[in-house]
Structure 1
Amino acid sequence: MTQKPWFAHYEQGVPHEVEIPPMLLHDLLIQSAQKYPKRTAVHFIGYTLTYEQLLEQARRFAHALQAWGVKKGDRVAIMLPNSPQQIVAFFGSSLAGAIVVNTSPLYVPRELQHQLEDSGAETLIILNSFFPRYQEIEKNVKVRRVIVTSIADALPFPKNMIFPMLEKKKKAWVEVKPTEKVRKWPDLLKHTNHDVQAVDVKPEDIALLQYTGGTTGTPKGAMLTHCNLVANCIQAKAWLPDLQEGKEVSLGAIPYFHVYGMTASMNLSIAIGATIALIPNPRDIPMILKTIDRMKPSIFPGVPTLYNAINNHPDTPKHNLTSIKACISGSAALPVETARTFGRITNGANLVEGYGLTETSPVTHVNPVYGEHREGSIGVPLPSVDARVADENGKELPAGEIGELIVSGPNIMLGYWERPVESKHVLKEVDGKVWLFTGDMATMDPDGYFRIVDRKKDVIITGGFNVYPREVEEVLYAHPDIQEAAVVGVPDPYRGEAVKAVVVLKMGKSVSAEELKQYCRKDLSPYKVPREIEFRTELPKTAVGKILRRALVESQDTAQTK
């Protein structure tokens, strides 16, 4: 790339571009197993796997898939929480030449059916407690192989015996009987070996179908290649030049079925030989705090709602969080106040905002972790990523103007699975290279720092004025009594749309709607001040913790029709 303004703000040791070797996704694990065979790769509620053990299990799993008829390019859906089995299945499927289909454990039967049908997955790895959801739609999908596992399969003795007993007492244990079509995880690995058949897979082949979260319509499968995923891992690694390979500990709290957790936590950790302290439930804040205290993680990728939950949890002051040195927040906008508070309680951990999309593997922008990070900014493009704020034709706009953020680089998807029309809508050739049109409205300052103003579809037009929800939310988050906030547009007969805020107060706090409006008037133009404020005990969120503005909008639409 030609000289870009953001290069001047790269930290020492961060290259302008990175070389992407012709590797496959599972080569990340193979290389670390060769370099650090005896180092603990995974720590999970007392159960551990070294890198050589992790690779052996992945190879056993790959062999089992191949023996059961899985061929190159077949889709393998993985519906598991963060667990050793999730990592083994992910890399084992890749070793077998299959295409992984990351599947949310929170999916209801209808959503699961859509993803299995759309991807054409014939193999499903699923937790036993999720199995009844699959049974509801079993006759409607073409799944031929089901591998069932449980949390107990990854626990040491005697925890593996106690866990089912506790689950049965809570009536939460689901017993699944093996059939010709359904096999249990321990039995599958017990009767196999690690002799994986060679498969002719190339870096440009699809490694993963990662479905968009559905916040902007029907979920679509982004086709991410081995090259895309390896590239983004190498780009993220280059952004943290002080990482010590074979020595770091990473907190695996964000879900690995989500594209951000998969790359920023799982793949990056595997690539640098880090120990992953796995958390199966990202909402279990007490467990996260205890794990940080005990495992002393140095790297903590997360999302704003997770950091915010730690900031406001009553147990946080009882734990030592000072081991954390680098935190990159993704998936949603990071409120300035959340970052400041987290920095205080960790005694200086660098929590910076990044940006990415499912379609970009996912990270494209990050603030410098130790250099100049600008509050409210998503930072600057990663090495080998080009970005611009553009008009609808892709023409670059001057610094400071609002336009659509478009990006280009080796981490950009091939397109959407079996959706050529929608692929052409977002992937366009401009100035001799392919750009992804993100749908996000942004600005770039003269130094090359980007700011997301909001999604195109989220912009509120009130009385002819554009209101960007994020700006209003930032003001609300700065209020000392507010824990969470989301801003949406609601129908208004006079203005077309009116600004509405939905807020969650901190425990024990009380403030009126009128007081919040007065507070907003100090920092917002009159037309941006919420005309309506609704108080809730919680906000609707995706599985990874991203606030679902669309769900709030739909609830307003439903209220209007009653």
Structure 2
Amino acid sequence: MSAHTTIGETLEQTVDRHPDRDAIIYPRKDQRWTYAEFNDRVNRLANALIDAGIEPGDRVATVLHNGSEMALTVYACAKIGAVFTPLNFRLPAGEIEYIVTDAAADLLVFEAATREAVEGARPALETVDEYVSIDDDVPAFASDFYALLESGATERPDVRVTEDDVYAFIYTSGTTGRPKGVVHEHRSMVEHSLLCIAELNLTRDDVGLSMMPLYHCAELHCNLFPRVHRGAANVIHHEFEPQAALEAIEDHDVTQLFAAPTAWNALSLAAAEQAVDISSLRIGLYGAAPMPEQVLENCREQLCEDYVQAYGMTEIGPAGVFQSPDDQVSKQGSAGLPALNHQLRVVEPDADPDQEVSRGDIGEILLSSPCVMREYWNRPAATERSLRAADGTTWYYTGDLGYRDDDGYLYVVDRKDDLIVSGGENIYPAEVEDVLFGHEAVTEAAVVGEPNDEWGEQVVAYVVGEGVSADELDAFLRASDHLADFKRPRKYTFVDDLPKNPSGKVQKFKLRTDETDSEPEDDPIQP
């Protein structure tokens, strides 16, 4: 054992404490394993990976939906010092090629639903020596996951893994462009698990539901890892479907789950129409954005009373700021307070860490965290811009703008890159979006700046909603006491959906380049 517990050892310690408690419940494949049984399978896969030639530091990529196979793979990699590299299962061949090549992955695990994209990328994947399929119809170029699993020994792998070894490359979801590989070490993620255990008050009696993507660090690091660390049960759903999630809460007495605010909204609406017993649910975790007031009210009425918000990003674990259940109403719109062992500063954008702004003033959000990444893989310049040391402390520059109120609570205003400057005035898209969201016909809204010869930039709103026109929205904003006239959108684009990353954050760079999934309907208005 290393001086500090590694990810693989968190599982082994739980097995020592609670060998016969439920670990993994995967209804899709009728799998239910105790911690002892799960650990045996992890050891089998770990030893099989070694037999397949995987060595410490080698990258093991996955292109998978949620499933027991994801849980087995991440812990098997952790036990042998391999670098877990999960990819978004929605990626097309070209993006798989980019990430797998950038990571120089040695082995790739996929499923039937992602096979076409993997096959499309395969001719260009020069570093991949082994392909593994988790489904029955295994293509000729791949090995069978479960045959590989059965081939390994159940003994603990004879590999020394230390706290400062790399655990994973987690590729950013790309809210601003090409994804970057975030390099996380074992110790930072064990620290992060302890944070989440404390903030959610997790116990061995909890039952968690993983329905958000496990390839994303929000579900993986804030939910699966802490629950395994604590000895709680983990129900895994292949993908998110509101009705199925509610039924799972009833069937398995689920006590805790994570979702983005949009998914929580969908759950609350479904619960209002569905006769299910969800009384076991005691706490909900959310992130990506503050919970809109009406959504929070619906969730508290239909689902459970207590919610915790986590603010952060892949680079810090992802959670570095938490809003407790007691602050959901009194500090609505806030991200919360710094997590345990974390420091928070708001400084002049791009300024040194000691250039703090006054309370209430907007600046760039900086975090100092024991869970922060080591670096961006193959991106030394980006690493240098994002991680800066001052007086012996390393600060991560988030690129988010925000302020702290008199009580020290953080309010995130917007992304620094999303700031709109129109006629010399600073306009923060989030404040326009918040007012638009108050219109009953608006489901979602995203505001961006568009080049304009007269004003430099003009405000453009992308809206998801039915039965409303640009003129009606403009009249609604003009009548509002919460938005200055110069901040009103000068053009509305109505779309079916907004492009989002896996954590639910809107990818505004796609809106600026017209990369939407639907044919937009532009509707300019008179100034």
- Is TM more than 0.5 here? yes
Moved more, 520-529 or 229-238: 520-529
Secondary structure of the structure 2 residue equivalent to 1:543: coil
Question: Which residue number corresponds to residue 297 of structure 1?
Answer: 254
Q: Post-superposition shift, 1:362? A: 0.8
One-letter code of the match for 2:255? S
Question: Which residue number corresponds to residue 25 of structure 1?
Answer: 7
CA distance in 1, matches of 2:306, 2:472: 33
Q: Post-superposition shift, 1:446? A: 2.0
Q: 1:270 aligns with which of 219, 228, 246?
A: 228
Q: Post-superposition shift, 1:479? A: 2.4
Residues 263, 208 of structure 1: alpha-carbon distance in 2 compared, 3 angstrom cutoff: same
Question: Which residue number corresponds to residue 212 of structure 2?
Answer: 254
Q: 1:288 aligns with which of 240, 245, 268?
A: 245
Answer yes or no: is 1:100 the counterpart of 2:84: yes
Secondary structure of the structure 2 residue equivalent to 1:137: helix
Residues 425, 334 of structure 1: alpha-carbon distance in 2 compared, 3 angstrom cutoff: same
Question: Which residue number corresponds to residue 181 of structure 2?
Answer: 221
Q: 1:375 aligns with which of 329, 332, 344?
A: 332
Deviations 1:483-525 (A, max 9, x none): 22211122222222222222222xxx52332222222231211
Deviations 1:532-559 (A, max 9, x none): 2222222222234332222111118999
Moved over 6 A (4+): 556-560
Deviations 1:308-348 (A, max 9, x none): 222344874433334322222113443333222212222x4
Secondary structure of the structure 2 residue equivalent to 1:366: strand
Secondary structure of the structure 2 residue equivalent to 1:134: helix
Answer yes or no: is 1:524 the counterpart of 2:524: no
Question: Which residue number corresponds to residue 10 of structure 1?
Answer: none
Deviations 1:285-312 (A, max 9, x none): 2211221232232112111221122234
Answer yes or no: is 1:319 the counterpart of 2:303: no
CA contact (8 A) 1:81 1:256 kept: yes
Q: Post-superposition shift, 1:201? A: 1.8
CA contact (8 A) 2:46 2:152 kept: no
CA contact (8 A) 1:260 1:331 kept: no
Deviations 1:377-432 (A, max 9, x none): 10001100101001212222211111110111210111111221211111001232
Answer yes or no: is 1:463 the counterpart of 2:423: yes
CA distance in 1, matches of 2:68, 2:309: 28
TM-score by length of 2: 0.92
Q: 2:440 aligns with which of 474, 480, 499?
A: 480
CA contact (8 A) 1:337 1:477 kept: no
Question: Which residue number corresponds to residue 157 of structure 1?
Answer: none
One-letter code of the match for 2:400? D
**Percent identical across equivalent pairs?**
28
What does 1:442-461 correspond to in 2, within 5 Å? 442-461=402-421
Q: Post-superposition shift, 1:478? A: 2.5
Answer yes or no: is 1:551 the counterpart of 2:510: yes
Aligned length: 509
CA distance in 2, matches of 1:21, 1:371: 37
One-letter code of the match for 2:70? Q
TM-score by length of 1: 0.86
Secondary structure of the structure 2 residue equivalent to 1:396: coil
Moved more, 286-295 or 217-226: 286-295
CA distance in 1, matches of 2:267, 2:415: 27
CA distance in 2, matches of 1:539, 1:311: 21
One-letter code of the match for 1:503? V
Q: Post-superposition shift, 1:178? A: 4.4
Moved more, 24-33 or 545-554: 545-554
Q: Post-superposition shift, 1:530? A: 1.9
What does 1:530-549 correspond to in 2, within 5 Å? 530-549=489-508
CA distance in 2, matches of 1:250, 1:21: 30
CA contact (8 A) 2:309 2:324 kept: no
Q: Post-superposition shift, 1:78? A: 1.7
CA contact (8 A) 1:211 1:219 kept: yes
Question: Which residue number corresponds to residue 143 of structure 2?
Answer: 183
Q: 1:146 aligns with which of 131, 155, 161?
A: 131
Question: Which residue number corresponds to residue 525 of structure 2?
Answer: none
CA contact (8 A) 2:175 2:506 kept: no
CA contact (8 A) 1:76 1:93 kept: yes
Answer yes or no: is 1:409 the counterpart of 2:369: yes
CA distance in 2, matches of 1:235, 1:43: 24
Question: Which residue number corresponds to residue 26 of structure 2?
Answer: 44
Taking CA–CA contacts closer than 8 Å with sequence separation of 6 or more, which of the two structures ends up with the larger relative contact order? 1
Q: Post-superposition shift, 1:83? A: 0.5
CA distance in 1, matches of 2:278, 2:483: 35
What does 1:45-444 correspond to in 2, within 5 Å? 45=27, 46-141=30-125, 142-150=127-135, 175-178=137-140, 182-241=142-201, 243=202, 245-282=203-240, 284-313=241-270, 316-346=273-303, 348-370=304-326, 374-391=331-348, 392-394=351-353, 395-444=355-404
Q: Post-superposition shift, 1:202? A: 1.2
Secondary structure of the structure 2 residue equivalent to 1:300: strand
CA contact (8 A) 1:222 1:417 kept: yes
CA distance in 2, matches of 1:468, 1:290: 40
CA contact (8 A) 1:502 1:536 kept: yes
CA contact (8 A) 2:183 2:376 kept: yes
CA distance in 2, matches of 1:541, 1:413: 23
Secondary structure of the structure 1 residue equivalent to 2:513: helix
One-letter code of the match for 1:193? A
One-letter code of the match for 1:355? Y
CA contact (8 A) 1:490 1:556 kept: no
CA distance in 2, matches of 1:292, 1:513: 41
Q: Post-superposition shift, 1:95? A: 0.9
Secondary structure of the structure 2 residue equivalent to 1:555: coil
One-letter code of the match for 1:78? T
Deviations 1:206-239 (A, max 9, x none): 1010111122122111110001110111111122
CA contact (8 A) 1:58 1:88 kept: yes
Deviations 1:351-384 (A, max 9, x none): 3432111100110001012456611110001100
CA contact (8 A) 1:305 1:546 kept: no
CA contact (8 A) 1:127 1:148 kept: yes
One-letter code of the match for 1:361? G
Deviations 1:183-220 (A, max 9, x none): 10121122221234322321011101011112212211
CA distance in 2, matches of 1:23, 1:40: 22
Secondary structure of the structure 2 residue equivalent to 1:26: helix
Give unpaired runs (5+ residues) of structure 2: 523-527
CA distance in 1, matches of 2:316, 2:505: 18
Residues 187, 308 of structure 1: alpha-carbon distance in 2 compared, 3 angstrom cutoff: same
One-letter code of the match for 1:270? V
Secondary structure of the structure 2 residue equivalent to 1:78: strand
Secondary structure of the structure 1 residue equivalent to 2:258: coil
